[in-house]
Amino acid sequence: MLIQYRNRPKRRILQTMEPPVVTSQPRQARAVERREQLLDAAARVLSQRGYADAQMEEIAAAADTSKGGLYFHFSTKEALVAAVIGRAGDILRRRVDRAMSDAGPDPVARADAALATLIDTLSAHRSLARVLVSETLAGSAPARERIAAIEDEFVDIVANELRLALDAGQLRNLDAPLDPDLTARAWVGMVQSTLSAWAAGRVSTPIERIYPELRRLLLRSAGVPLESASRELATRE
């Protein structure tokens, strides 16, 4: 007897497969936006309260969310602080890279642009400046190490440009041989110290005048004639 397959139900193989995962772009965008809001709130609270006194409940309230919502994104305060510092470093790198590229091939102009952009960026975000260049994170050794790593990165950037300027004969008015690494460390340290005092309200000089004043000191210390510098910031408003 022949077996009839005509009425036998067909296996629906495709229906047994898991449907493809479809990424929800709006959901991802909302998650990124929410994370940015949490980091903004954390920077504000940390700049006002310092690491030791800033509480996760306070940060959650500043971000208009629950403590559980904050812990959903960041499991510990240390992780949250690391994210705040990491984002700040990313912002500074992008803006400094762009400014140095716009400054052209002149190494003095590129170093000049890097430091000017550092001040411009942090002065536009006072809470971020307080977190990065003041003692608000003194209670966290890992946070201090991360900030020191960012500082070292910018010292290396400036030192490299000074080294190129030295090789090109641009640093002529020197009483003694210039050490690019030490000079860059002094330059970044001067900017950092001045920004720290400004962020804490201890400097009365308007922020738009801070770098032009520093610039004269920095360029002279490296033997750069002011009239030959490519970027005239002294007239900035």
Indicate the number of domains in the chain: 1
Query: What average pLDDT does range 96-120 have in this prediction?
Result: 94
Q: Is the dihedral of CA 62, 125, 98, 160 positive or negative?
A: negative
* Domain-located, residue 14: no
Query: What average pLDDT does range 76-100 have in this prediction?
Result: 93
- Pairwise pLDDT comparison (232 vs 117), residue with the higher score: 117
* Domain-located, residue 99: yes
Cβ neighbours, 10 Å, residue 223: 17
* Domain-located, residue 196: yes
Residue 183: which CATH number? 1.10.357.10
Query: What average pLDDT does range 17-40 have in this prediction?
Result: 73
Tokens 């400036």 correspond to: 158
**pLDDT exceeds 60 at position 7:** no
Joined together, the tokens standing for residue 137 give 């994170």
Q: What is the pLDDT of residues 115-126, one digit of tens each?
A: 999 999 988 888
CB 229 within 8 A of CB 219: yes
* Domain-located, residue 188: yes
* Domain-located, residue 20: no
Query: What average pLDDT does range 25-42 have in this prediction?
Result: 86
The domain of 216 spans 85-228
* Domain-located, residue 146: yes
* Domain-located, residue 55: no
* Domain-located, residue 52: no
CB 80 within 8 A of CB 59: yes
